[in-house]
Copies of this chain bind each other. A is one copy, B any other.
């Protein structure tokens, strides 16, 4: 099912499979746009919830949009804000109209509806706009899940009606947890809307949210290949190198996750030989690069001993150098998978990649 693809956006074509680094508050944490260009992601992600609150989407629009604001020239995808708002738990109230919530910053009252989500994303000027979906909290029973999906379909229609900027494309989000028949039913509803006015792409939501890994993988294996073949498929909130490789094998084209940068800030590094905890004393005197197979700025400039030192003494630069590596590794993994697909050697690539992760004490 794995595939290499390509689609156009206003800020350039996107070659897939591709991992999208997350820039929640208008910055990929600890990384300048110049460093990001060298890392080379195809798309980066901005968060509608955070940017809508601070600095505010109207101000970003006044300043020329998110691209100009944060100094990133490539494609940007914005999420709908739904996931963050639904995560606010006691601070939000859901109705058919939308979600009333209180800001996690100052407790001020706000309302996120499909129309408001579209408005924020239009103000941000992202290339790819995500429809507002209801994100079921944890694992729901079937009747509640069905009601939630029905609402998500109605909200998708409202998102579709909203006049986005001409350069923006809308992705629809499929829900249904790990219940395959619900996902297929939801997809049919989405395809009815799609027939009238095609979406730019399709996302798989509501996975990697706490369900057992086997259930997530089974759902992906049975469901992803049923999504329209001619449009990009986006698996939201995933993730780890293992999950990326598995997702690509199921036909996923796009991924996003905060994991590479968050892990980096905690000294947990992803390498071609498996995970490295740079805090570990055995790296204290190591003259080796972090990952001998990596050509990122961090790996070609510094030893493990230096990265260990920076982390132990709590220097800011530790976060930056570790994030440069983890993003380079993750983006590079999807880029290498694409190359292997184009050269018809993907199964061999996937096997060798997994074998290398098994290295003892990388």
Contacts and interface: CB of A to CB of B under 8 A. Distances in A.
Given A32-B320, A55-B284, A63-B287, 13 more contacts: A27-B317, A30-B316, A30-B320, A32-B297, A50-B313, A54-B309, A63-B306, A64-B287, A69-B303, A69-B305, A69-B306, A71-B302, A316-B320
B59 A305 contact: yes
B316 A71 contact: no
Nearest to A27: B317
A284 to B, nearest CB: 7
A31 to B, nearest CB: 7
Interface of A: 25-27, 29-35, 50, 54-55, 59, 62-64, 69-71, 284-285, 287, 297, 301-303, 305-306, 308-310, 312-313, 315-317, 319-321
Given A32-B297, A297-B32, A315-B29, A63 B321 contact: no
Give the number of times this chain occurs in the complex, counting copies: 2
B306 A25 contact: no
Nearest to A62: B285
B33 A70 contact: no
Contact of A309 (B26, B33, B34, B319): B26
Given A305-B59, A305-B63, A25 B321 contact: no
Contacts of A54: 309, 312-313
B71 A313 contact: no
Nearest to A316: B30
Contacts of A308: 55
Nearest to A303: B63
Nearest to A59: B285
A134 B258 CA distance: 50
Given A285-B59, A312-B54, A30 B302 contact: no
A303 B64 CA distance: 11
B285 A315 contact: no
Contacts of A35: 32
A34 B297 contact: yes
Given A55-B305, A309-B54, A312-B54, A32 B317 contact: yes
B29 A321 contact: no
15 contacts: A27-B310, A27-B315, A29-B315, A32-B35, A32-B321, A34-B297, A34-B301, A54-B309, A55-B308, A59-B284, A59-B305, A62-B285, A62-B287, A63-B303, A70-B306
Contacts of A302: 71
A120 to B, nearest CB: 16
A71 B320 CA distance: 15
A352 B313 CA distance: 42
A317 B33 CA distance: 10
